[in-house]
Amino acid sequence: MSGSDAAERARRAADRHESLDARADDRYAVTTTAFDADVATGAADGHATFAVTARVPMLDAVTADRVAPVVEDGWFDTFALRLEDVDGVLRGSDDVDVAVERAGDEAVVRVELADLDAARGAADSVAVVEYVEGTYVEGVIPGYDYTEPVTNLLQQAADAAGGSRGGTPL
In-domain check, residue 167: no
Q: Is residue 131 part of a domain?
A: yes
Q: Transcribe 93-155 into DSSP letters.
A: -S---EEEEEETTEEEEEEEEEESSHHHHHHHHHHHHHHHHHHHHHTPPTTS-B-TTHHHHHH
Looking at residues 37-66, what average pLDDT do you find?
97
Residue partners of 119: CB distance under 8 A and separation at least 6: 13, 16, 17
Mean pLDDT is lowest, of 58-67, 85-94, 123-132, 146-155, for 85-94
Residue 166: band (very low, low, confident or very high) from pLDDT cuts 50, 70, 90: low
Buried/exposed code over 119-149 (b: 16+ C-beta within 10 A; e: otherwise): bbbbbbbbbbbbbbbbbbbebbbeebebeeb
The domain containing residue 138 runs over which residues? 3-161
Q: What is the mean pLDDT of the chain?
A: 93
In a domain, 166, yes or no: no
Query: In this structure, is residue 85 part of a structural domain?
Result: yes
Domain assignment present for 169: no
Instruction: Flag whether pLDDT at 162 surpasses 70.
Output: yes
Check: CB of residue 63 under 8 Å from CB of residue 145: yes
CATH number at residue 66: 3.30.1460
104 in any annotated domain: yes
For 53, the enclosing helix (H) or strand (E) is strand 47-57
φ and ψ of 68, to 5 deg: -60, 140
Among 40-44, 133-137, 163-167, name the one with the lowest average pLDDT.
Answer: 163-167
**Per-residue model confidence (pLDDT) at position 83:** 98
Closest CA to 96 of 104, 86, 105, 106: 86
In a domain, 16, yes or no: yes
Average pLDDT of the segment spanning 35-39: 98
Number of domains in the chain: 1
2 falls in which pLDDT band (50, 70, 90)? low
Q: Is residue 157 part of a domain?
A: yes
**What tens digit of pLDDT does each residue of 75-113 get?**
999 999 999 999 999 998 777 989 999 999 999 999 999
